[in-house]
Amino acid sequence: MAHYGLTKTAFGSMLVAVDGERMIALKFDVDDARLPAAVEDLHRELHGAFALERSEAKVRGAAKQIRDYLAGKRMDIDVQLDLSWVTPFRRDVLLECARIPRGQVATYADLARRVGRPKAFRAVGNTMRTNPIPIAIPCHRVVGSDGSLTGFGGGLDMKQRLLALEGAR
C-alpha cells in the first residue's frame, strides 16, 4: 500500500506519495479542494502499480525534506526514489537527470547523449514533462539548447525560482 498526503511549502501546496521509505510521486498545486482529482490522476499515471491511501503520518519524512529544501534549509533531498513502474528508457533519463548537480543545468540534448540516445532529445523532453517526482528528480535543471527556460510542471516562474534557490546561473 502506498500513501499520500499534502504538504505546504514555500512554493505552494503539494501532494507527496510514498511506498514505505521510497518516494513515488510529487505533484504541484494540490490542496484539499484539488486532492480527489489529483489522486485520480496519480493513480492513472502510476498505471495502477500502487494502491493509494491517505496518510499524512506515512509521508511525514519525505514531505519534511521537500519543505526544508524549498525553504532553503537543506542542500539536497536524500529520500529514496521508486521508479520501478516506469519504462527502462524513462528510468534511465530520470536517473541521469537526478545526477545534474545543484546549481548547474543541462540541456535535453545533453541528457539524450548521456543515456546513449543522442537523437532522442524530444523523448527526453517528454520524460521531463511527465517526471513523477519533480524537485527530487530535478527536471527544473533541464533547459533548452540555447539555455532558455522551457516547460515545467510548476510553471516557468517556479522553474526560475528553483534555479535561483540553487544558485544556478
What cell does 27 get?
Answer: 505533484
Point out the catalytic residue in the list 59, 139, 142, 163. 139
Specify whether 97 is catalytic: no
Using CA atoms, how far apart are residues 148 and 163, in angstroms rounded to an integer? 12
For residue 78, report the phi and psi dihedrals to the nearest 5 degrees: -115, 25
Are the C-beta atoms of 154 and 117 separated by less than 8 Å? no
**Distance (Å, whole) CA 95 – CA 29:** 24
- H/E element, 39: helix 35-45
d(CA 17, CA 167): 28
Angstrom distance (rounded) from CA 98 to CA 20: 21
CB-based contact 94:33 (threshold 8 Å): no
**Kind of pairing between the strands at 2-9 and 52-54:** parallel
Q: Which residues are catalytic?
A: 139
